[in-house]
């Protein structure tokens, strides 16, 4: 590594760290002010509130790192331009590619680290954050658990497993319910194709009931069956949030198992592909920011860098959210919807680089 490369990389890393810390701090302050009123209603310990926001840090960093990369790219090159260092480098025969290479390499490393974090750090931190929120702060029970392929719920004398929850229809699918006696001896097993919520209780449809209390198994089939379960619809709507925080491989296995059961997986397929495409937003932001900053020349400064990074960043995330929503609803293929924003903004970066005055 040459002295010039170390100099540019060092300056870039310092500004990247400062930008990332600033975005995280702003996010934490806004999130804290928004949620502290609701959390204090449950009279939690302050140590639990602090632990909640600490567990949320990986999610916050993942969300703001592309903006931090973009802003640090614009500020680094803007400051080098204002100090005439870019002109000096060009005068010594250093090309724009060599000047930009350290920034691209660091942004690519950030993208790879984000993928690693999404796969191994974010799911565990999210589970711990939910535990602190629901159990330590809100003093709720731990009866309802969500896994990658099943939803489990335990009442005092029953255990229910459902393959999937559809928030749009407020329905459970692929249900198996076991009821037990006081000695935890199985009394009956109920299998249902679907369970719907009417605002007060669950109703199972296409039901097979097997009585297990007698010497032989008694089987009967019903079109519908009311089910008394201490499970509300609000407890199940968080399954979408849980899928958002699954790793790519777990979500891929989840999609495969749902497909094997004959369920529509379009929504989850779009989320699955975004697990890989979205981390590369950092690389796209650096690739787009380099020609944008160099076009400004010596007029590039802090104010321009902050304004441009916020504008470009919001444009990217809004475009990406719209395209992914198209993939989740089936308007676009999931793979295309996940990568379309990256392709569009990468092409914009190529156009800016090609029209750059060299």
DSSP letter string, 294-326: HHHGGG--HHHHHHHHHHHHHHHHHHHHHHHHH
- The whole-chain average pLDDT of the chain stands at 85
268, exposed or middle or buried, with CB in 10 Å at 0-12, 13-18, 19+? buried
**CA 242 – CA 125 distance, rounded (Å):** 12
User: What per-residue confidence (pLDDT) applies to 235?
Assistant: 65
Q: How confident is the model at residue 298 (pLDDT cuts 50, 70, 90)?
A: low
Average of per-residue pLDDT across 203-213: 89
156-229 CATH, one of 2.60.40.10, 3.40.640.10, 3.40.50.800, 2.60.450.10: 2.60.450.10
Q: What are phi and psi of 77, to 5 degrees?
A: -70, -35
Average of per-residue pLDDT across 229-254: 72
User: What per-residue confidence (pLDDT) applies to 238?
Assistant: 52
Average of per-residue pLDDT across 260-284: 87
Domain limits, the chain? 3-139+265-354, 156-229
pLDDT at 148 over 50: no
pLDDT at 143 over 60: no
pLDDT digits (tens, 9 = 90+) for 82-138: 887 887 887 888 887 888 899 999 999 999 999 999 999 998 898 889 888 888 888
**CA 219 – CA 138 distance, rounded (Å):** 42
pLDDT above 70: percentage of residues in the chain:
88
Q: How confident is the model at residue 149 (pLDDT cuts 50, 70, 90)?
A: low
User: What per-residue confidence (pLDDT) applies to 146?
Assistant: 42
pLDDT at 241 over 80: no
Q: How confident is the model at residue 353 (pLDDT cuts 50, 70, 90)?
A: confident
pLDDT at 202 over 60: yes
- Which stretches within 83-173 are classed as H helix? 85-91, 96-116, 122-131
- 292 CB contacts (<8 Å, ≥6 apart)? 74, 308, 312, 352
Using the structure block, give the residue that is written with the tokens 């990247």: 16
> 309 versus 227: which is more confidently predicted?
227
- 117 CB contacts (<8 Å, ≥6 apart)? 58, 61, 62
User: What per-residue confidence (pLDDT) applies to 130?
Assistant: 83
pLDDT at 49 over 90: yes
User: What per-residue confidence (pLDDT) applies to 145?
Assistant: 45
Look at 62-71, 234-243, 322-331 and tell me which has the smallest mean pLDDT.
Answer: 234-243
**CA 41 – CA 34 distance, rounded (Å):** 13
Q: How confident is the model at residue 50 (pLDDT cuts 50, 70, 90)?
A: very high
DSSP three-state, residue 94? coil
Q: How confident is the model at residue 285 (pLDDT cuts 50, 70, 90)?
A: very high
User: What per-residue confidence (pLDDT) applies to 327?
Assistant: 93
């Amino acid at each position: 590594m040459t002295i010039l490369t170390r100099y540019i990389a060092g300056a870039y890393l310092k500004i990247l760290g400062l930008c990332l810390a600033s975005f995280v701090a702003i996010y934490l302050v806004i999130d804290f002010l928004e949620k502290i009123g609701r959390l204090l209603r449950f009279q939690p310990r302050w140590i639990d509130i602090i632990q909640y926001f600490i567990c949320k840090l990986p999610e916050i960093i993942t969300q703001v790192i592309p903006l931090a990369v973009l802003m640090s790219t614009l500020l680094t090159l803007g400051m080098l331009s204002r100090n005439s260092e870019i002109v000096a480098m060009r005068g010594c025969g250093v090309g724009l590619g060599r000047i930009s290479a350290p920034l691209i390499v660091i942004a690519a490393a950030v993208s790879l680290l984000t993928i690693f974090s999404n796969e191994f750090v974010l799911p565990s931190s999210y589970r711990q954050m939910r535990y602190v929120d629901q159990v330590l702060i809100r003093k709720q029970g731990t009866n309802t658990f969500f896994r990658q392929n099943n939803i489990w719920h335990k009442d005092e004398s029953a255990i229910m497993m459902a393959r999937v929850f559809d928030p749009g229809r407020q329905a459970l699918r692929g249900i198996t319910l076991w009821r037990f006696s006081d000695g935890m001896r199985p009394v009956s097993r109920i299998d249902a194709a679907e369970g719907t919520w009417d605002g007060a209780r669950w109703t199972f449809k296409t039901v097979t009931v097997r009585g297990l209390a007698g010497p032989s198994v008694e089987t009967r089939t019903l079109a519908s069956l009311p089910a008394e379960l201490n499970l509300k619809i609000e407890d199940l709507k968080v399954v979408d949030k849980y899928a958002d925080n699954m790793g790519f491989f777990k979500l891929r296995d989840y999609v495969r198992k749902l497909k094997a059961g004959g369920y529509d997986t379009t929504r989850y397929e779009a989320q699955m592909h975004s697990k890989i495409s979205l981390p590369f937003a950092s690389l796209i932001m650096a690739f787009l920011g380099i020609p944008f900053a160099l076009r400004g020349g010596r007029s590039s400064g802090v104010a321009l860098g902050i304004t441009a990074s916020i504008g470009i960043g919001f444009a990217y995330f809004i475009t990406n959210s719209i395209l992914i929503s198209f993939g989740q609803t089936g308007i676009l293929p999931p793979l295309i919807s996940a990568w379309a924003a990256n392709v569009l903004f990468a092409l914009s970066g190529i156009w800016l680089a090609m029209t750059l005055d060299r």
